[in-house]
Amino acid sequence: MTHFIFYSGKGGVGKTSMACTQAVRFADEGRRTLIVTTDPASNLADVFEQPIGHQLTSISAIPNLWAMEIDPDSATREYVDRALAPIRAAFPASMVQVMEEQMSGPCTAEVAAFDRFTDFIVQDQTTIDFEIIIFDTAPTGHTIRLLELPAEWSQSIDAASAGSGQTCIGPAAAIQDAKHKYENALATLRNQTLSTFIFVLHPEAIAIRETGRAIAELGKLGIHTHRLIINGIIPASEAANPLFAARAEMQAGYLQQIQALLPYPAQRMTLLSGEIKGPARLRQVARIFFENDPGAFDIDPQPGNLAAQPTPSSLNEIRARILPDGQRRTIFFTGKGGVGKTVSSCISAVWLASQGYKTLLLTTDPAAHLGDVLGQPVGDTPATLAGAPNLWVVKIDPKAAAESYKARILASARQRGRPESAIQVMREELDSPCTEEMAAFDQFIDYASQSDWQAVVFDTAPTGHTMRLLELPVDWSQQIDVKVFASVDGSAADDVAKQRFAGVIEMMRDPAQSTFAFVMVPESTPILEAWRAAQELSTVGIQPGLVVANLVIPPDQASTPFAMARRRMQEKYLAEIRQRFSTPVLEIPLLPCEVKGLPMLAELGELAYGSQPVALPAAQIA
């Protein structure tokens, strides 16, 4: 096994569980092991059941194992202090203050977290003694973005050094050492004797396609060492359960696809009857995975009766959080990766359109699975969906958005008579990798501000990255005077931007205009992640409006010990959901097949929101 091991894959496939299982096995073998998460919504502490945070922390019940959760805010403070340290000693305080302002924009957070990540790869003094370093990464789209940064930042620093000497993450002269670090990091990632990438996936169409795309993107970066863990395989014992037997049959076809399309060394991991939490459970899972130990399974052969069902939220309560009420309704579906945000947003958008509302469905997730679920391609500009009157769909592609954004900003600057020297400085800043985040944010603001739609449904990226996006209007309204595009025309640009941001912030805070729908499966980690996100959003005046509990096993399908054990686990967490969130709860059942295509989405929409048409006011019908 190589020194560095990266666990990657689609959200919700079990990256963290498998990375922690691997880490525990290495530590129990006597190897000094460190596991680091780059996911902004980290779950390491939840899995190990102890506080971890932004520092190397020993895992109390497992000798030889340490962990760290990279915190973007802490990483940003450390990065700015380190980058400006030589500047403070050599320049006046007024100049240092200008540089601090230039580095206070939101894009600094991305490179700061990345900079901390590369510290582990280039082996600083705090990590040099570890025999194995495991990275539990964010879902695939954001991980690819992270791994592209070494080459992009090296180019950006070179360009700035030859030009103005300033980048949006600090003076080029002050970060030349970082350039060398990034180059060394990329060389390490490419070195097949040092680094291995393990892709965790479920035997499902979307996970297979995302894994294939990710491997292709890594290939462009010169990274070729890959292994697979195929997770969540239905146990053979469930042939007696109609629901799980049907899902096992579906999986069998996808397992053949994986062999044909992804010819890499692979291991398989079965779906367990309970969740993976705590050192004892991790060791049990390690025996199942590494030793194929059947004695490690823990299904209670007589699990007892299922609990009485709670009173479900009324259809009227749920509809009230989705339907426009005399003005446009904006719905944000958010939550942990893999919990079903895309499916939930597609079901809702298709149903709203079927009720006669002019609806826009869009995704801010770099992985962009809308087309996979809808069964039709989704482009970078809004387009109607065949077979669904009143429904338009679009994806925000950060790379495409960045090119359009740069062209617009530079054209505007020329139109306003800015001198060529200023244009050149702006071009250097806009060539920064940060521009992708800024451009995607700008498109988000644009769609969130439009009045052309009666309903706008956002399929968002996994929680940590969504929180970053949703907090940007607040961040940027406070930092308007240091943004790149504000330099185009000083106060005029400030006023326009502030008005746009203020409108979006007001909309997000108003429950009559917007609904934050937290999607989760009834398990501990997704619930905790959603609850923490809801607490954070409440600090900026945004409250949850709906909870979607997805992949719920219907009580009448819990006909075997395995299915009954999973249903009982879900009942426990369904009760916790209702205790933590004082909002209507919409349950979507676990189905025998994948959700795909308009007919299935329409059927699920009727199940979720009712089949009786909503009476539209005459003004809305027109």
Instruction: Give pLDDT tens digits for 114-127.
Output: 778 788 887 654 55
For residues 207 and 331, membership in a common domain is answered with no
Three-state DSSP state, 268: strand
Rounded Cα gap, residues 136 and 134, in angstroms: 6
For residues 350 and 471, membership in a common domain is answered with yes
For residues 440 and 396, membership in a common domain is answered with yes
In this predicted model, which residue has the larger pLDDT, 54 or 244? 244
The token duo for 21 is 């299982």
Residue 92 lies in a domain: no
Q: What is the pLDDT of residue 271?
A: 94
For residues 244 and 388, membership in a common domain is answered with no
Q: pLDDT grade, residue 363 (50/70/90)?
A: confident
For residues 335 and 223, membership in a common domain is answered with no
For residues 9 and 126, membership in a common domain is answered with yes
Looking at the structure of the chain, the number of domains it has is: 2
Residue 413 lies in a domain: no
For residues 286 and 192, membership in a common domain is answered with yes
Q: What is the CATH number of the domain that holds 472?
A: 3.40.50.300
Instruction: Give pLDDT tens digits for 180-206.
Output: 777 788 888 889 999 999 999 999 998
For residues 360 and 232, membership in a common domain is answered with no
Instruction: Give pLDDT tens digits for 517-558.
Output: 999 999 998 899 889 888 888 888 889 999 999 999 999 999
Average pLDDT over residues 34-59: 88
Residue 390 lies in a domain: yes
Nearest to 569 by CA among 257, 297, 359, 307: 307
Rounded Cα gap, residues 372 and 290, in angstroms: 33
In this predicted model, which residue has the larger pLDDT, 493 or 238? 238
Residue 373 lies in a domain: yes
Residue 418 lies in a domain: no
For residues 515 and 565, membership in a common domain is answered with yes
Residue 529 lies in a domain: yes
For residues 381 and 500, membership in a common domain is answered with yes
For residues 242 and 385, membership in a common domain is answered with no
Pairing of strands 359-363, 388-395: parallel
For residues 266 and 355, membership in a common domain is answered with no
pTM over 0.75: yes
Residue 212 lies in a domain: yes
Average pLDDT over residues 55-70: 93
Given 243, 263, 293, the domain boundary residue is 293
Is residue 448 within 8 A of residue 456, CB to CB? The reply is: yes
In whole numbers, what is the pLDDT of the chain averaged over residues?
81
Domain span at 46: 4-73+113-150+179-293
DSSP 50: S
Residue 299 lies in a domain: no
Nearest to 523 by CA among 599, 574, 462: 574
